[in-house]
Amino acid sequence: MRLNTLRSKMVVFLVALLGVVQIGVFTLVNSSTTRAARIKIDDELEVGEKVFASELKENDERLAQAASVLASDFAFREAIATGDSATMDSALENHGARVKAAAVLFVNLQGMVVDDTIRGAAEPRRFELGALIDRAKSAGQATAIGLIDDRVLQLVAVPVQAPLTIGWIVVGFPVDQMLATNLRNLTGLQVSFVTEQEGRWTLLASTLTPELSRVLLSTLPPFAQAMSTRVLAMPEQHQLRVVPLGESGARHFVAVLQRPINDAMGSFRNLSAKMIALGLFSLLLSIGGSIVIAVGITRPLDALLQAVRRIRRGDYSVPIEIHRGDEIGILAQGLDHMRAGIAEREQRILKLAYEDSLTRLPNRSQFGERLQREILQAADRHGSLAVFVMDLDRFKYVNDNLGHSVGDHLLIEVAVRLRNLLRDGDGVARLGGDEFAVLVPTAEEQRVTELAKSIIEALERPFDYEGQPLDVGASIGIALYPAHGADAQALLRNADIAMYVAKRTRSGFTVYDPHYDTSQQEHLSLIGELRRAVERNELRLFYQPKVTLNSIGVHSAEALIRWVHPVRGMMPPNLFIPFAEHTGYIKVLTRWVLSEAIRQCGAWLQQGMHVEISVNLSARDLSARDLPELISGLLAEHRVPAEMICLEITESGFMEDPAFAQRVLDRLSAIGLRLSIDDYGTGYSSLSYIMKLPVNELKIDRAFVSNMSEDADMMTIVRSTIELGHNLGLRVVAEGIEDSKAFALLRGLGCDVAQGYYISPPMAAEALPGWLNGSVNVRRLPEIPADDVLAAVS
Amino acid sequence: MRIGSVLLLIAAADLARPADLRVTVVDHADQPVADAVVYAVPSNPPPHNEVHKASIDQVHRQFVPRVSVVQAATAITFPNSDNIRHSVYSFSHAKTFTLKLYSGTPANPVLFDQPGIVVLGCNIHDAMVAWVLVVDTPYFTRTAADGTATLAGLPGGDYQLRAWNNSMADEQAGEALHIGAEAPGLRQLHVDGQQLAAHP
């Protein structure tokens, strides 16, 4: 039983209370009975003393009477009065024996002991206790305790009359055990006759045991103090009275009347033993009783406590079944209502917390928890599983252009299609926005791949909204357990990374590769370095010339960023630009690029070089509202006309949020800046949309250009794109020209501007003027007739 | 035994003829002592050729008289006038005797033949005391209330003159008295104390 529980507190309190009361009562009874016992003994001693005194007196009188009778015996008197010493001697002897005297003396009128039974008729000697005779003279008889020949005797002196007094008979009676015993029987007290001389006590007779007698002698204080002594420790406490009996010279005779206090305490002892027994019994009873009561109270409390613990653990299933009429019962009832209420609300909250209200799919939290559970189970059975994270392409476009209700409808449809693809055991969730996740309880390659493909296919099928087809697609990132992470968080993160890779590479789905993660890690470390790169001026702009094909001349260049890393050396943009885009740092970089490019443009202008410079903008750059103002400021600062700067924006860059992109582009165009659609052909932008944009240039994606020599389809795309651009009044730029064949073909197709390693790799700003002036690489380009080329490839 | 100094005032004594001697007895305070016995013991006591008679009665548990003076060789009878019995005894050296319990007059008187003081008691009644002074002389008398007494007819010769009363346990050694031709003068004797009360 722990001491701080309610039960033990109650038990301890009750028992302590009872214990205190009992100890109090016992102490009270003890002290009062002890006092009573002392008073009782005192009374007994007082009475005993009186009885003792009267008994002693009576004894004296009896002895005196005996002595008188003896002294008045005629024959005795005759023997004393007339006899010779031998006769007298024998008479004393004989008559003394009659009264059981220890000694008989005859003292003549001159106070001389004439004869006695101790020494016989020797020389007469003076009787030592003359006072006794004197008292006898006046009173007729006298008694005293005295010492005769070293014997303590009770002496009685009576006259011998013949018929006139002729002397005194002194009869001595022994002060002995019998006397003491008689007196004890009469008084009920222990009686001791002791004598003191010079502080030393000697025992004459005592009813005490020999041992106690010795103790008495050794503990009695000297005579003077002894008279007032009332209590003596020997070693038990004795109450006593010291009664003086007489003295002989310096010798005192006293009777000690005493009684051990314990004698009188006997009855109390009995009482206290009973009280202790009763106390222990009631203590046990109270312990038992209080335990019973405490348990009666605390058992339901324990049950309540158990219930509360269950509720605290989140287990609301077990009802609290304590049916009592008392407060605890009411409390239990209340608690049970509370439990039911909490359980109900928790269900609701859980639903809210774990379910996506739109698609009725589990949300990110529930998916994360389930994933974690599945991971644990998979770990137990050494199994595996796969996590898909997918993101809808072009969803934002739908949402913004067609309205949120369409977006919602689309999401619901996506959810339905996903569900239909899943088997039992698979799981699907909406992570948020247009992001979904799928859990496959195996990492088996075939199954995973098939599922990924079927999802892609399912989502590429147009969705129908009120008869209008909606095209969306999806990019899927896949992470496998245990290969790609040990917990839900790691798997989701890696699947996410894989998804971004998939999105970037437009590969549909990508299985996570640890390499991505290391590059990710590199990126993480890069952020700090990149930040410093700007401060430390480690960034450079390289310029790749763009040549006009119809006149073979250079009038523009694309500014490409390079990072002269202090450790890694020259870093190509693909190593840090995606990361910068991902983290948002791209905005800083773009600002720097814009600033540097416009400055350089201004510088060249001052040198008389008119070079139009193209700068790449990312989708994120477009979201910066102050972009137009920033560029205007830079242009003004470096006195660069707006048309000298061309902004290249990827198709995907504005397809994420076309409406917003259009507004920004309109503002940029209003400044006078040239705008170019970069990587054209990879996105899904509709021509009707592009037509609305204020662009000046189309840049055919390098994938088409570099492959068009071998691939007729590519050639077709390039040709039709050039035609399309021209039809829209746009300048068409081809990039990624790596050989003369492509160069010739493009020229033949009527492409306006060419850019690529075949013409020139990007170069430092300092190199460009030289290249423009003397470098006539371009001029050395083979003059291949376009028709020939076209014929060769067709 | 202490004896007071004795002053003898002897008048003229005539050896040839008997003379009367006047005596006063005083105590230590020179107060006259009444009822004291005054007696003169001659140097050559006369022979006891006749037995005198005397009687000491017992009346109302008292000896009557309490103090008797008798000449040696006196037979004293102890009649009992009470209607209870008495047992008269004496432990005195001059005469030791016991009369067993009796009433009336015992048949035989008790012969007091030795001079000396005899204290009588009753064995039954401790309060009964009587004194008998047995003297070896016919010349004795008792003082009157004024303490004077006269020893009459003292023949010429030498005597021991003594006084006694019952407060004295022993006889005095006495003082010498010579009766000569001239008449003796007044003599003053001392005794130890007053006569013991007749009823103690």
The residue in chain B having the minimum alpha-carbon distance to the alpha carbon of residue A161 is B126
Residues A393-425: pLDDT tens digits? Answer: 878 778 877 888 888 888 999 999 998 888 888
Please report the pLDDT score of residue B6 as a whole number.
Answer: 37
- Cβ-defined contact of A162 to B96 (cutoff 8 Å): no
Local structure of B103: helix, strand or coil: coil
Residues A709-719: pLDDT tens digits? Answer: 888 888 888 99
Asked if B129 reaches chain A (Cβ–Cβ under 8 Å), the answer is yes
Interface probe with A: pick from B91, B132, B165, B168, most Cβ of A within 10 Å: B91
Please report the pLDDT score of residue B170 as a whole number.
Answer: 84
What is the rounded distance in angstroms from the CA atom of residue A566 to the CA atom of residue A375?
43
Read off the tokens for A509. 């789905």
Q: How many other C-beta atoms can be found within 10 angstroms of the C-beta atom of residue A259?
A: 21
Instruction: Identify residue A534 by its one-letter amino acid code.
Output: V
Q: Is the pLDDT of residue A789 over 50?
A: no
Please report the pLDDT score of residue A521 as a whole number.
Answer: 57
Identify which of A628, A623, A663 has the alpha carbon closest to the alpha carbon of residue A645: A628
- Cβ-defined contact of A74 to B89 (cutoff 8 Å): yes
CATH architecture group of domain B52-135: Sandwich (2.60)
Residues A415-458: pLDDT tens digits? Answer: 999 988 888 888 899 988 889 999 998 888 888 999 999 999 88
Please report the pLDDT score of residue A733 as a whole number.
Answer: 92
Is there a contact between A308 and A300 (Cβ–Cβ < 8 Å)? no
Mean pLDDT rounded to a whole number for chain A: 83
**Position B10 confidence tier, pLDDT thresholds 50, 70, 90:** very low
**Position B132 confidence tier, pLDDT thresholds 50, 70, 90:** very high
Which bin fits A629, alpha (ψ -120 to 50), beta or left (φ > 0)?
Answer: alpha
Please report the pLDDT score of residue A787 as a whole number.
Answer: 45
Q: Is the pLDDT of residue A599 over 90?
A: yes
Read off the tokens for B35. 């009822």
Q: Is the pLDDT of residue B4 over 50?
A: no
What is the rounded distance in angstroms from the CA atom of residue A100 to the CA atom of residue A62?
12
Residues A284-324: pLDDT tens digits? Answer: 888 888 788 777 777 778 888 888 888 888 788 888 887 88
What is the end-to-end Cα distance of chain B in Å, rounded?
Answer: 24
Bigger pLDDT: A704 vs A264: A704
Quote the percentage of chain A above a pLDDT of 70.
93
Which bin fits B67, alpha (ψ -120 to 50), beta or left (φ > 0)?
Answer: beta
Q: Is the pLDDT of residue A781 over 60?
A: no
Q: How many other C-beta atoms can be found within 10 angstroms of the C-beta atom of residue B13?
A: 21
- Cβ-defined contact of A163 to B128 (cutoff 8 Å): yes
DSSP A358-399: TT--B-HHHHHHHHHHHHHHHHHTT--EEEEEEEEETHHHHH
What is the rounded distance in angstroms from the CA atom of residue A366 to the CA atom of residue A686?
38
What is the rounded distance in angstroms from the CA atom of residue B96 to the CA atom of residue A83?
11
- A336: which residues sit within 8 A by CB, 6+ positions away? A307, A319, A320
Q: Is the pLDDT of residue A600 over 60?
A: yes
**Position B9 confidence tier, pLDDT thresholds 50, 70, 90:** very low
* Average confidence (pLDDT) over A764-772: 86
Asked if A69 reaches chain B (Cβ–Cβ under 8 Å), the answer is no
> How many Cα atoms within 13 Å fall on the side-chain side of residue A770?
5
Please report the pLDDT score of residue A776 as a whole number.
Answer: 43
Q: Is the pLDDT of residue A500 over 80?
A: yes
- Cβ-defined contact of A163 to B96 (cutoff 8 Å): no
What is the least distance, in Å, from the CA of B24 to any CA of chain A? 28
What is the least distance, in Å, from the CA of A211 to any CA of chain B? 52
Residues A328-379: pLDDT tens digits? Answer: 888 888 888 888 888 888 888 877 778 888 888 888 888 888 899 889 888 8
Please report the pLDDT score of residue B38 as a whole number.
Answer: 92
Please report the pLDDT score of residue A148 as a whole number.
Answer: 81
Please report the pLDDT score of residue A633 as a whole number.
Answer: 93
Residues A603-655: pLDDT tens digits? Answer: 999 988 888 999 998 877 887 778 899 999 999 999 999 999 999 988 776 76
DSSP one-letter code for B102: B
Please report the pLDDT score of residue A684 as a whole number.
Answer: 61
Q: What are the chain B neighbours of A162 within 8 Å (beta carbons)? A: 91, 119, 121
* Average confidence (pLDDT) over A84-93: 80
The residue in chain B having the minimum alpha-carbon distance to the alpha carbon of residue A77 is B91
| In A84-129, alpha helices (H) | 85-98
Please report the pLDDT score of residue B199 as a whole number.
Answer: 47
Q: What are the chain B neighbours of A72 within 8 Å (beta carbons)? A: 126
The residue in chain B having the minimum alpha-carbon distance to the alpha carbon of residue A109 is B169
**Orientation of helix A627-638 relative to helix A658-671, angle to 10°:** 20
Give domain limits for chain A.
355-512, 540-793
* Average confidence (pLDDT) over A59-80: 82
Q: Is the pLDDT of residue B13 over 80?
A: no
What is the least distance, in Å, from the CA of B121 to any CA of chain A? 5
What is the rounded distance in angstroms from the CA atom of residue A65 to the CA atom of residue A383?
129
- Cβ-defined contact of B121 to A162 (cutoff 8 Å): yes
Please report the pLDDT score of residue B15 as a whole number.
Answer: 47
CATH architecture group of domain B13-36+143-190: Sandwich (2.60)
Bigger pLDDT: A753 vs A99: A753
What is the rounded distance in angstroms from the CA atom of residue A731 to the CA atom of residue A695?
9
Q: What are the chain B neighbours of A140 within 8 Å (beta carbons)? A: none
Q: Is the pLDDT of residue B158 over 60?
A: yes
What is the rounded distance in angstroms from the CA atom of residue A83 to the CA atom of residue A79?
5
Read off the tokens for A439. 């859990």
- Cβ-defined contact of A164 to B129 (cutoff 8 Å): yes
Burial of A277 (0-12, 13-18, 19+ CB in 10 A): exposed
Please report the pLDDT score of residue A519 as a whole number.
Answer: 58
**Position A738 confidence tier, pLDDT thresholds 50, 70, 90:** confident
Q: What are the chain B neighbours of A78 within 8 Å (beta carbons)? A: 89, 91
Is there a contact between A669 and A646 (Cβ–Cβ < 8 Å)? no
* Average confidence (pLDDT) over B162-179: 86
Q: Strand order in B148-154's β-sheet? A: B148-154, B19-26, B187-190
Bigger pLDDT: A555 vs A175: A175
What is the rounded distance in angstroms from the CA atom of residue A395 to the CA atom of residue A409?
11
Topology (CATH) of A355-512 = Alpha-Beta Plaits (3.30.70)
CATH architecture group of domain A540-793: Alpha-Beta Barrel (3.20)
Q: Strand order in B175-179's β-sheet? A: B140-142, B37-42, B157-164, B175-179
Q: Where in chain B is the domain with CATH 2.60.40.420?
A: 52-135
Which bin fits A755, alpha (ψ -120 to 50), beta or left (φ > 0)?
Answer: beta
**Host H or E run for residue A151:** strand A151-161
The residue in chain B having the minimum alpha-carbon distance to the alpha carbon of residue A80 is B91
What is the rounded distance in angstroms from the CA atom of residue B100 to the CA atom of residue A26?
80
Please report the pLDDT score of residue A774 as a whole number.
Answer: 64
DSSP one-letter code for B46: P
Please report the pLDDT score of residue B14 as a whole number.
Answer: 42
* Average confidence (pLDDT) over B112-134: 90
Asked if B152 reaches chain A (Cβ–Cβ under 8 Å), the answer is no
What is the rounded distance in angstroms from the CA atom of residue A282 to the CA atom of residue A25?
13
Is there a contact between A784 and A776 (Cβ–Cβ < 8 Å)? no
What is the least distance, in Å, from the CA of A153 to any CA of chain B? 29
Q: How many CB pairs under 8 A join A and B?
A: 25
In DSSP terms, which residues pair with A148 in a beta bridge? A151
